[in-house]
């Protein structure tokens, strides 16, 4: 049942279990329910893989029933691509066991890791798997495997493919020995419908899993891979993944089509039977040059979700799942089934829209977007904000009227952006590691930094060095911000560092949200030290009235650059070198982040990517803050259960 590459644990003879007629020679594997031993039948003179239920599982009636079900099901079958069961029973100790055909070879998982699979070999393997599935799907009663994955596919010494491990199999019209609340299967290969309910699936869930196996053989990685069940299913629910040919252009177009149809998130759009998929694969002719091409393993998608950074085409494929899937996975009231809107007229250039709009957010990292002139980025980002507000019936501008001096907020629609800066950016700093960040939900951020009159209306006193009620409040520590929020019943908070940069950029990929340079006529900074080789400009030496300079960004916010350094909620720390979702920053630290530069900063310190940090108790005439409206949102990193 298993392969010779397992490290055989040579235990003392008396530690092996006793099985009638068998001499146990070694332990060769362990699984969730049992231990597998290499045994030798003393009368039939043949090896067998003997699976014995472990002590923990033997105490669980459902586990026992699943163990016996696997043996009783497989024992009835005779198919060249399914490992045979010889016999089953109980030993003197009362342990259940069954003896299976011993297969000397390697699992498909081993073959994939060794990077030795050609296109022809991959097609042949998946065809044999489909033949086995077609056999069990048409058996009476119908059997659904529910755990198709490379570790359960063996290629023996004669290159015969064997499907194994029917411990999670479901018998149609009988069901499985599992409660509705339990999700069975391997997350990377599991269909969404199986994640929702293992009991209600049909043969198409096995087809999906077989499609994922084919995808992995062709590309070296699975389409969705998180570090937990929750994170993986969240990735699947978002439905975003690379087409095989985007990973490896040498993959034949027709083979890609077959693979994508098999892993369609839409059950009705998937192959309806294994026979249909098998027929398409058998009709498929591998181009001569393809037969000898060995598939190279790609870097696995691994996120917090998340995704190791690599240069890849930006075009991605995405399908929209039932919103109930999202609710099920996150166990929160995250509702993506918002009011439908006519999308026949995209708000920007159709080619750009079709690539960048990902059904629930806008992808500002797509190559087609980053190549746009910054003026177009600003124009299109503004139209996206307006479109998103209309689509979901959300206000672009929101006013908080509980203050004697109201605070105006601007809508920040969801999107994926490049956080940090390229090493090519003038005055790039080492702590600005460029990485993708997805802000998955909209939020409202202050149109301007909090002013002295807004602070004073709540806190009574004015700590600022430069007294001007219409200017940004300064000499504010991070802990002072907490006191301000507490006085307002925590209806507001500081933005995370990622939210701050995303809101500041407003879709731009240039050093500043107004382009490649800044001028004192638009930004209040130390103009004696301009960016790159610009001419010396005005240095005001103090704060000034907010919104008095024409520096509104694409989403309607002012004074992100210069004015005052703005506190963020995040601890200062090194950026990850991978894509993350809604990051809050390090879990702990000694200093908090400030962003944006100030009235005394040189131009390079006002860049969108520039970071500094300070102790939470520190306060000076260059430190202020901007606030975010506190609403129920999911700020967890993918993989956080």
Q: CA 182 from chain center: how many Å?
A: 22
Q: Nearest CA to 475 among 613, 619, 594?
A: 619
DSSP assignment letter at 519 = -
The structure tokens 């010494």 sit at 157
Between these two residues, 557 and 290, which has the higher pLDDT value? 557
Cis amide leading into 519 (omega within 30): no
How far apart (Å, rounded) are the C-alpha atoms in residues 60 and 42?
A: 32
Whether this prediction's pTM lies above 0.85 is answered by no
Active-site residue identified among 95, 128, 134, 147: 147
* Res 323: pLDDT: 52
pLDDT digits (tens, 9 = 90+) for 274-286: 999 999 998 886 5
Q: Identify the structural domains of the chain with CATH numbers, from first to last.
A: 13-101 (3.30.200.20), 106-330 (1.10.510.10), 391-629 (3.90.1580.10)
Strand partners, 628: 445, 493
* Res 310: pLDDT: 33
Handedness of CA 136, 137, 141, 144 (dihedral sign): positive
Backbone angles phi, psi at 99, to 5 degrees: -105, 130
Neighbours of 573 (CB within 10 A): 16
**Confidence check: pLDDT of 293 > 60:** no
Question: What are the strands, taking DSSP E only, across 383-442?
Answer: 397-400, 407-412, 415-419, 435-439
Token output for 363: 């992808």
Which pLDDT band holds residue 565 (cuts at 50, 70, 90)? very high
Token output for 241: 């993944």
pLDDT digits (tens, 9 = 90+) for 198-235: 666 888 999 999 999 999 999 999 998 866 666 677 77
pLDDT digits (tens, 9 = 90+) for 386-439: 999 998 888 899 988 656 688 999 999 999 999 999 999 999 999 999 999 999
Handedness of CA 11, 17, 23, 27 (dihedral sign): negative
* Res 553: pLDDT: 97
Between these two residues, 240 and 102, which has the higher pLDDT value? 102
Catalytic residue at 147? yes
DSSP 311-328: ---S--EE----HHHHHH
Between these two residues, 353 and 9, which has the higher pLDDT value? 353
3-state helix, strand, coil in the chain (%, to 5): 30, 20, 50
Q: Which residues of 102-126 are buried (b: 16+ CB within 10 A; e: fewer)?
A: bbebbbbbbbbeeeebbbebbbbbb
pLDDT digits (tens, 9 = 90+) for 574-590: 999 889 999 999 999 99
Highest mean pLDDT among 149-158, 477-486, 526-535: 477-486
Q: Is 227 helix (H, G, I), strand (E, B) or coil?
A: coil
How far apart (Å, rounded) are the C-alpha atoms in residues 138 and 130?
A: 12
How far apart (Å, rounded) are the C-alpha atoms in residues 170 and 153?
A: 18
* Res 333: pLDDT: 31
List all residues 6 or more positions away from 169 whose beta carbon is below 8 Å from its beta carbon: 69, 70, 73, 136, 143, 144, 145, 146, 147, 176
Q: Nearest CA to 98 among 85, 88, 111, 106?
A: 88
Average pLDDT over the chain, rounded to whole?
81
* Res 355: pLDDT: 94
């Amino acid at each position: 049942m298993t392969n010779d590459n397992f490290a055989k644990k040579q235990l003392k003879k008396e530690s092996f279990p006793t099985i009638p007629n068998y001499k146990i020679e070694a332990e060769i594997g362990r699984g969730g329910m049992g231990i597998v031993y290499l045994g030798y039948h003393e009368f039939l003179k043949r090896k067998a893989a003997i699976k014995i239920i472990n002590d923990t599982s033997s105490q669980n009636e459902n586990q026992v029933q699943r163990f016996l079900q696997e043996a009783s099901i497989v024992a009835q079958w005779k198919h060249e691509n399914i490992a045979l069961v010889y016999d089953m029973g109980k030993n003197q100790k009362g342990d259940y066991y069954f003896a299976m055909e011993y297969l000397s070879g390697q699992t498909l998982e081993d073959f994939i890791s060794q990077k030795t699979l050609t296109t022809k070999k991959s097609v042949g393997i998946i065809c044999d798997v489909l033949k086995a599935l077609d056999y069990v799907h048409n058996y009476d009663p119908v059997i659904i495997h529910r755990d198709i994955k490379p570790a359960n596919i063996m290629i023996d010494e004669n290159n015969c493919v064997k499907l194994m491990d029917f411990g999670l199999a479901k018998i149609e019209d009988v069901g499985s020995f599992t409660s509705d609340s339990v999700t069975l299967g391997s997350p990377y290969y599991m269909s969404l419908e199986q994640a929702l309910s293992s009991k209600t699936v049909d043969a198409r869930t096995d087809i999906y899993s077989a499609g994922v196996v084919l995808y992995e053989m062709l590309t070296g990685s699975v389409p969705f891979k998180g570090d937990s069940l929750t994170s993986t299913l969240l990735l699947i629910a978002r439905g975003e993944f690379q087409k095989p040919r985007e990973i490896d252009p040498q993959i034949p177009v027709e083979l890609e089509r077959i693979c994508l149809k098999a892993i369609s998130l839409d059950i009705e759009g998937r192959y309806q039977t294994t026979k249909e998929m098998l027929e398409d694969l058998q009709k498929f002719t591998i181009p001569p040059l393809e037969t000898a091409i060995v598939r190279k393993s790609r870097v696995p998608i691994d996120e917090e979700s998340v995704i190791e950074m690599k240069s890849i085409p930006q075009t991605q494929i995405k399908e929209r799942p039932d919103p109930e899937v999202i609710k099920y996975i996150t166990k929160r009231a995250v509702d993506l089934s918002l009011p439908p809107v006519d999308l026949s007229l995209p708000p920007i250039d159709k080619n750009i829209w079709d690539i960048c709009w990902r059904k629930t957010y806008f992808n500002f990292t797509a190559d087609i977007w980053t190549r746009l002139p910054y003026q177009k980025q600003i124009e299109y980002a503004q139209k996206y904000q307006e479109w998103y507000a209309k689509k979901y019936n959300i206000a672009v501008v929101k006013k908080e009227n509980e203050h004697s001096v109201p605070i105006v907020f601007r809508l920040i629609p969801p999107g994926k952006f490049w956080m940090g800066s390229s090493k090519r950016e003038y005055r790039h700093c080492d702590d600005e590691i460029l990485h993708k960040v997805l802000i998955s939900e909209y939020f409202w951020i202050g149109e301007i930094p909090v002013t002295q009159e807004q602070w004073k209306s709540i806190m009574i006193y004015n700590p600022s060095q430069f007294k001007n009620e219409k200017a940004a409040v300064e000499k504010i520590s991070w802990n002072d911000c907490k006191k301000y929020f507490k006085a307002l019943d925590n209806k507001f908070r500081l933005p995370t560092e990622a939210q701050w940069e995303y809101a500041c950029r407003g879709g731009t990929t240039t050093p500043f949200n107004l382009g490649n340079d800044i001028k004192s006529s638009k930004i209040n900074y130390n103009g004696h030290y301009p960016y790159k080789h610009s001419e010396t400009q005005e240095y005001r030496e103090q704060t000034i009235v907010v919104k008095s300079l024409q520096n509104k960004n694409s989403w309607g916010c002012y004074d992100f650059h210069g004015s005052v350094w703005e506190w963020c909620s995040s601890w200062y720390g090194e950026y990850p070198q991978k894509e993350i979702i809604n990051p809050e920053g390090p879990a702990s630290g000694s200093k908090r982040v400030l962003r944006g530069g100030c009235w005394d900063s040189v131009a390079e310190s006002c860049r969108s990517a520039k970071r500094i940090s300070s102790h939470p108790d520190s306060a000076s005439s260059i430190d202020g803050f901007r606030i975010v409206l506190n609403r129920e949102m999911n700020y967890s990193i993918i993989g956080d259960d």
